Amino acid sequence: MFSNDKNIETIGQLVEVVKHYIGLQNEYLRLDVIEKVVRLITALSIAAVTFLIVLIIFIYLSFAAAYALAPYVGTPVAFLIVAAFYILIFLLFLAFRKSWVEKPLVRFLASLLMEK
């Protein structure tokens, strides 16, 4: 009963369909990983370019602020005031780095990698 030629042919077709399905799933997984890696690299590139532009803006604004304060307190003191401002920002950043950087970054990466 089980050794019927039609049953063997049907089982062979089923095996071929399962192999094809597994191959398609494998291809889908590879394409999904490639898409997520490309999206991650794109996001990192955009973040890097944005960071560099903002850094240049802050440098010019720092010099402008220092030279604007210079007539009132003197050039060296004006640069010290600007430096103290950046030290204050740095200390705030250290204090709140988990809520400002780590949590949003984890949420972004999780949403990127868990998205279907």
Mean pLDDT by 10 residues, the chain (116 residues): 72 90 92 87 92 96 96 95 95 91 85 75
What gap in Å lies between CA 72 and CA 65, rounded to an integer? 12
- CA dihedral of residues 6, 8, 13, 17 (deg, nearest 10): 140
Is the distance from CB of 104 to CB of 43 less than 8 angstroms? Answer: no
Q: Give residue 3's pLDDT.
A: 63
What is the token pair recorded at 55?
């850094």
Q: Give residue 72's pLDDT.
A: 94
Phi, psi of 90 (to 5 degrees): -60, -45
What gap in Å lies between CA 46 and CA 40, rounded to an integer? 10
CA angle 46, 47, 51 (to 5 degrees): 120
Q: Give residue 116's pLDDT.
A: 64
Q: Give residue 70's pLDDT.
A: 95
